[in-house]
Homo-oligomer: A and B are copies of this chain.
């Protein structure tokens, strides 16, 4: 009985990829690197926001997508469309479980309330207008308020002609301010999502893990008014005609192939100091992990044996579990990995360098002092955050009451999120929240955090909570009254509340509104403190960055902040630990291996049948002998990049970014040689659509000839 043995060889091959999340206007700086790395299209095309391919890259709230047809069909991750699938699901018509395909435009379903598709159309440098000629007499808080006022003015000026949304974003630690103009499409509909057993195959178990076998893709369609302009949902709206859409690749990827990703990464901390990352390691992450663990446990407990409650809580739980695993992994890398040592070294180098560059003297000391101030009340601030996170109802009450307060002010003086331009968004959020209201879960979560508040140290107590509990006699008595005497969960009542004054709201004698009102002064006081700290930082952090740049010379990219970025790299596996090697591509053979027919590994029968029958047609990869599923690359991404189109050297869509590996969970702090992103292969997407879900209508729309 002869047998085959699989032998491995490891080749250490220097790749030309750089870490970095580059702004489109930085492309000329890195064009040479892109060429050396293997890009075949002219890299400078990437600097043109309104051209091909960047004109096809779009933002969802917190995710990225891209147009893939002239009729506004947009592809993103299943997990980015998850809430839209959820709100259209009931235990009787469970689209999460079974998937959804509109066979024609009129079968498409409205996405979750508030869903938007944004197309960045212009980026302008407004640095001078934001921080030029700031009066030296301004104290720290005054300085931040003035910067904020100027940002709001620049936003208002930009949005005045109508039809666009604008945002001024601080780049390079406040050294530069850019104004982003976007067209915002407000009628978004769900066109297709595979069954959860494909789109979320592996669930939380496989989340952040490699090898992965998730078909994390779903399709939206953008609709506009008959005049071609963005409009609220109406059945008379028509599909949006984008100027550019991506061509879906029909080639196969191989290890070492060039790939790039365009998208909207959310937040990184690459310029955080040793003090800041140490505080993340010792306080912020452990606290967040503990609170998320408890809230997840509570929501699961309440929903046990009740599918209706499970669907209500599904998105919340998924968010909790996702950030829990993310934070746990990040804490692990912060504890055991190279991050803190790298910061320590960087700052030691910087201190040495500054000693011969006196113009930067004192920068690190100033930063240190401000940071100390910033964390002084962090236990209380964190708990306050989680009190709201635990209770969507209390969060709505706060929004209602805060809005009433802010609306008494001039528009320009209002807190962010409460200006006139935000009112529609507020109302959409109010509607969306409705689908998540689940009073038993709300109360159980809030109860835990109120009890936690009683353990806060004396100097960090939340007076409003202490008083409310003292008055009621006990947490349970307080909660009895809170939930018995509120109409906040009534959508019509709540919509009415958004139009009322504080006096009208007070007259309602609504317990939830009353509790929210008592908490608002602390929120406002915190914002004042934040403004003061932000003002101080706005003087120091640009200096810190300038010192780092001067010391190292050359290129720098700005930390992620939900603005459009480009990153590039190659398809590449890695070794997560001694004697284990991960190949960079998975195949449908692995789906069969993982499928258990239950829980998170429950593939739809049609998928299993197609794999077993090797119904692969032109989608098989001859090298792998199977249909590829997911792949790894060493591009530089983070949350917010989810759904980002992955483009091959020819600028064609060859996949969607949807995750990072567990070993990469510290990459928000430090990009390391083993940092990897996970993409779903466009080949798998096309094959599932063709062989499993019979979405031939969409394939044809994308210019792909169905094989089955």
Contact = CB atoms under 8 A, between A and B. Distances in A.
Contacts of A4: 12-15, 673
A140 to B, nearest CB: 35
Nearest to A211: B579
Contact of A583 (B211, B579, B587): B579
Contact of A8 (B2, B15, B19, B581): B581
Interface string A8-41: 1111111111110000000000000000000000
Contacts of A7: 10-13, 255-256, 572-573
A255 B11 CA distance: 15
A690 B590 CA distance: 44
A422 B580 CA distance: 49
B580 A580 contact: yes
A573 B1 CA distance: 19
A583 to B, nearest CB: 4
Contact of A17 (B3, B572, B585, B586): B3
A582 interface: yes
A1 B19 contact: yes
A10 B4 CA distance: 12
A210 B634 CA distance: 27
A90 interface: no
Contacts of A1: 18-19, 671
A111 B573 CA distance: 49
B9 A15 contact: no
Interface residues of A, number: 46
Contact of A589 (B211, B570, B574, B578): B578
A507 interface: no
Interface in A596-612: none
Q: Which of A3, A587, A634 has most B Cβ within 10 Å?
A: A3
A485 interface: no
Contacts of A15: 2-5
A188 to B, nearest CB: 34
Contacts of A587: 578-579
Nearest to A9: B9
A232 B708 CA distance: 79
Nearest to A629: B578
Contacts of A570: 5
A306 interface: no
Contacts of A3: 14-15, 17, 19, 634, 673
A2 B586 CA distance: 26
B579 A8 contact: no
Interface string A561-586: 00000000010111101111111111
Nearest to A631: B579
A213 interface: yes
A424 interface: no
A357 B256 CA distance: 58
Interface in A626-679: 634, 671, 673
Contacts of A578: 211, 213, 586-587, 589-590, 593
Given A583-B579, A585-B579, A255 B8 contact: yes
A669 to B, nearest CB: 15
A5 B574 contact: yes
Contacts of A579: 210-211, 573, 582-587, 590
A6 interface: yes
Contacts of A255: 7-8
A8 B573 contact: yes
A12 B6 contact: yes
Given A1-B19, A5-B14, A8-B10, 8 more contacts: A1-B671, A5-B13, A5-B572, A6-B572, A9-B11, A211-B580, A578-B593, A579-B585
- Among all A-B residue pairs, the 10 with the closest Cβ atoms: A578-B590, A211-B579, A5-B572, A3-B673, A579-B583, A581-B581, A579-B586, A5-B15, A7-B11, A4-B12
27 contacts: A2-B16, A3-B14, A3-B15, A3-B17, A3-B19, A4-B12, A4-B15, A5-B12, A5-B570, A5-B634, A5-B673, A6-B581, A7-B10, A7-B255, A7-B256, A8-B9, A8-B255, A8-B581, A211-B577, A211-B579, A211-B580, A213-B578, A573-B579, A579-B583, A579-B586, A579-B590, A580-B583
